[in-house]
């Protein structure tokens, strides 16, 4: 599979793969519960060497995220030219914390000792700056941003690997790595502008989100999406014109890639967060100025965010006036299956999450 | 240079073995692998103005006992890098041998001409036996195990790479007492983030005659 994928992938880079699998996260529904992060963690990154790896993380914005200050780490492209990137350290990702499980659970100290990290005191983590946010009371603001590999159409990681160990699967555009051919050079992690590539310090290879491809191959949605209690994650084929992903990205243009200026054409999209109203000094509602500054959203999602917000607000206005909105119905998700079609099979049908992981 | 005939090459697996002092050394000049030949556009772009190949000379000694051959590589290095950490890479070195006697060293072989690479890296317990058919293609091969041991002291690496003279498999160099073979050396300076084909290497093959 790897070899075929590697050669066939050359043609796919820079062009939307037919059947490109994409995801849309509606940030208006994300409550930062990290169920997605834990669903991914328990499925894929439990081994030693992966303890600090969180292929799926929910960052709080505004914030420095994980790895710390990743938006200042370069990578990606500017006018088609690869940009130098910084290799994130394990500490910048937050490291893998060890906890005093033995002490608390097995040494009879459950009532006297708190469960806590042992070893050097952690100074960063996957969502360290949670709820810090920005702005002044009573108009402070924050929102959550689930982040994973963007399975880009122009993946700078794939192009950066001098060994051709990475490739974009032609059938669905998922970005994968042939770990048998990876020598841990980590040019991929340097070149990735989203900083979602990790180094396995036991296997000495780089690793990243595989979009749960063994699940997708059996019609099961990725674990992060399937487990999301907020039902805010759409999964599907980008070119499937009758389904939500295509409509949200292309028809309504309310789902936008994060940092489009990175030039990699991400295939993970976000419905930007609407703001609660600001309060004026007299306590009355300020309906004119959004609480989350549009300049900030533009920095994240590019200039198209203005149109997206206008569309969302317009549709809400329409519904408030008694009208109907296909867009809002789609985002409300009356039937949860509509989130995942055609990947709606229950993991139980194929033997449970761990079985579907190994592709049986 | 000559690979000295000794009574027991196994004791020379220790870089600090006294026996090495009786083996004559040769100093080989190294150059940085040019950036324009790198296989990745990212590497070519980002490293265009950076120094590649920080280590510019290596001392080489070789000895064999009719069964096993050992190389001692020594070079100056102020920074001992023994792991992947803090945006740095482990120091590494390799002795290279051309397959078919004709593989180009500057491109680490070619599709039809293999280079056998006896590889040491500071974070690994043992050596690796690699074969390459061009830049960016080196990968483990079978038929021979490479023993490797490195020691860093007072700003200097001493690394022994060793293998039985006989080895199965077409990828593995054949070394015979009384015969002359070609070899080269390549070194990666981890503090300079050298890895892959960002490294220094001997620009030509050097001759190695195994004493009878």
Closest by CA to A215, choosing from A197, A241, A238, A235, is A235
User: For position A13, what pLDDT does the model report?
Assistant: 64
pLDDT the model gives residue A18: 85
* Residue B196 with chain A: CB contacts under 8 Å: 162-163, 183, 185, 187
Instruction: Write down the CATH number for the domain with range A2-357.
Output: 3.30.70.20
> What gap in Å lies between CA A43 and CA A228, rounded to an integer?
14
- Using an 8 Å CB-CB cutoff, list chain B residues near A161: 40
Residue range B22-55, pLDDT digits in tens: 999 999 999 999 999 999 999 999 999 999 999 9
Is B182 an 8 Å CB contact of chain A? no
Task: Measure A184 CA to nearest chain B CA, in Å.
Answer: 9
Arithmetic mean of pLDDT over chain B: 97
Domain extents in chain B:
2-210
Burial B132-159 (b: 16+ CB within 10 A, else e): bbbbbbbeebeebebbbbbebeeeebbb
Closest CB to B40: pick one of A81, A87, A187.
A187
Q: Which of A296, A235, A244 is closest to A267 using CA atoms?
A: A235
Q: Given this model, what pLDDT does residue A131 score?
A: 78
Q: Which of A87, A162, A199 is closest, CB to CB, to B40?
A: A162
Report the residue from A89, A156, A162 with minimal CB separation from B43: A162
Pairwise CB contact (< 8 Å): A89 & B87: yes
In terms of Cβ atoms closer than 10 Å to its own Cβ (0-12, 13-18, 19+), residue A299 is middle
With a CB cutoff of 8 Å and minimum separation 6, the contacts of B184 are: B95, B96, B97, B105, B201, B202, B204, B205, B206
Task: Classify strands B2-5 and B206-210 as parallel, antiparallel or unpaired.
Answer: parallel
Q: Which residues of chain A are modeled with pLDDT < 70?
A: 1-14, 358-360
Q: What is the pLDDT of residues B79-124, one digit of tens each?
A: 999 999 989 999 999 999 998 778 999 999 999 999 999 999 999 9
Contact A82 B42 (CB under 8 A): yes
| pLDDT at residue number A8 | 42
> Which residues of chain A have a CB within 8 Å of the CB of B193?
87
From B42, B137, B193, residue closest to A156, measured CB to CB: B42
- Interface probe, candidates B33, B42, B48, chain A, greatest A C-beta count within 10 A: B42
Is it true that domain B2-210 has CATH number 3.40.50.970?
no
Any chain B CB within 8 A of the CB of A344?
no
> What confidence score (pLDDT) does residue B129 get?
98
Shortest CA distance from B133: residue in chain A:
A163
Q: Smallest CA–CA separation between B197 and chain A, in Å?
A: 8
**Domain locations along chain A:** 2-357
Provide the pLDDT for residue B79. Answer: 97
How far apart, in whole angstroms, are the C-alpha atoms of residue B90 and residue B190?
A: 5
Using a CB–CB cutoff of 8 Å, tell me whether A206 touches chain B: no
Element (DSSP H or E) covering residue B76 = strand B68-76
pLDDT for position A3: 38
* ipTM of model over 0.90: yes
- What pLDDT was estimated at residue A359? 55
Neighboring chain A residues of B138 at a CB cutoff of 8 Å: 183
Q: By percentage, how much of chain B surpasses pLDDT 90?
A: 96
In this prediction, residue A353 carries a pLDDT of 78
Residue A12 is predicted with a pLDDT of 53
Structure tokens at A170: 């032609």
User: Using one digit for the tens of pLDDT, what is the confidence trace for A108-159?
Assistant: 888 999 999 999 899 999 999 997 999 999 999 999 999 999 999 999 999 9
Q: Which residues of B touch A207 (CB under 8 A)?
A: none
**Closest residue by Cα to residue A185 from A212, A162, A159, A214:** A162
**Cross-chain Cβ contact B39/A162 below 8 Å:** yes
Chain B positions touching A82 (Cβ under 8 A) are 41-42, 45-46
- The helix/strand/coil state of A269 is strand
Residue A335, min C-alpha distance to chain B (Å): 45
């Amino acid at each position: 599979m790897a070899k075929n994928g590697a050669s066939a992938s050359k043609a796919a880079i820079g062009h939307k793969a037919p059947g490109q699998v994409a995801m849309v996260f509606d940030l208006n529904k994300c409550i930062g519960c990290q169920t997605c992060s834990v669903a991914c963690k328990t499925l894929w990154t439990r081994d030693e060497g992966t303890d600090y790896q969180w292929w799926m993380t929910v960052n709080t914005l505004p914030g420095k995220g994980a790895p710390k200050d990743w938006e200042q780490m370069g990578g990606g492209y500017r006018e088609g030219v690869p940009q130098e990137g910084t290799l994130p350290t394990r500490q910048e990702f937050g490291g893998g914390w060890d906890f005093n499980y033995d002490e608390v659970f097995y040494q009879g100290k459950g009532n006297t000792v708190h469960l806590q990290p042992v070893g050097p005191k952690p100074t960063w983590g996957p969502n360290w700056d949670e709820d810090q946010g920005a702005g002044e009371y009573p108009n402070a603001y924050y929102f959550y941003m689930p982040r994973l590999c963007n399975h880009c159409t122009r993946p700078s990681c794939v192009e950066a690997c001098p060994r051709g160990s990475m490739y974009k699967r032609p059938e669905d555009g998922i970005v994968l790595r042939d770990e048998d051919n990876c020598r841990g050079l980590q040019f991929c992690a340097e070149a990735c502008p989203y900083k979602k590539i990790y180094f396995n310090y036991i296997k000495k290879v780089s690793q990243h989100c595989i979009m749960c491809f063994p699940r997708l191959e059996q019609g099961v949605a990725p674990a992060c999406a399937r487990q999301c209690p907020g039902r805010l994650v759409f999964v599907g084929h980008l070119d499937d014109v009758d389904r939500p992903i295509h409509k949200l990205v292309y028809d309504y243009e309310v789902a936008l890639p994060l940092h489009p200026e990175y030039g990699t054409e991400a295939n993970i999209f976000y419905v930007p967060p609407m703001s609660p109203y600001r309060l004026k000094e007299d306590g009355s509602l300020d309906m004119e100025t959004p609480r989350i500054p549009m300049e900030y959203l533009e920095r994240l999602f590019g200039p198209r965010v203005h149109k997206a917000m206008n569309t969302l607000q317009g549709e809400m206005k329409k519904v408030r006036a008694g009208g109907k909105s296909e867009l809002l119905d789609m985002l409300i998700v009356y039937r949860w299956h509509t989130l995942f079609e055609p990947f709606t099979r229950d993991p139980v049908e194929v033997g449970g999450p761990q079985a579907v992981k190994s592709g049986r | 240079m000559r690979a000295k005939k000794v009574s027991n090459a196994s004791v020379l697996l220790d870089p600090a073995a006294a026996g090495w002092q009786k083996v004559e050394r040769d100093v080989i000049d190294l150059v940085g692998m040019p950036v324009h030949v790198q296989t990745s556009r990212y590497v070519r772009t980002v490293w265009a103005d950076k120094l590649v190949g920080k280590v510019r000379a290596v001392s080489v000694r070789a000895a064999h006992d009719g069964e096993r051959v050992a190389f001692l590589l020594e070079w100056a290095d102020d920074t001992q890098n023994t792991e992947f950490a803090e945006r740095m890479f482990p120091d590494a070195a390799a002795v290279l041998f051309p397959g078919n006697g004709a593989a180009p060293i500057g491109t680490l072989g070619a599709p039809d001409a293999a280079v056998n690479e006896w590889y040491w890296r500071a974070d690994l317990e043992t050596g690796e036996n690699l074969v390459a058919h061009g830049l960016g293609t080196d990968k483990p091969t079978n038929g021979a195990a490479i023993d490797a041991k490195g020691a860093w002291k007072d700003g200097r690496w001493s690394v022994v790479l060793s293998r039985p003279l006989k080895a199965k498999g077409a990828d593995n160099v054949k070394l015979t007492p009384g015969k002359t073979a070609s070899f080269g050396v390549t070194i990666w300076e981890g503090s300079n983030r050298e890895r892959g084909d960002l490294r220094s290497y001997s620009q030509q093959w050097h001759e190695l005659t195994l004493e009878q």
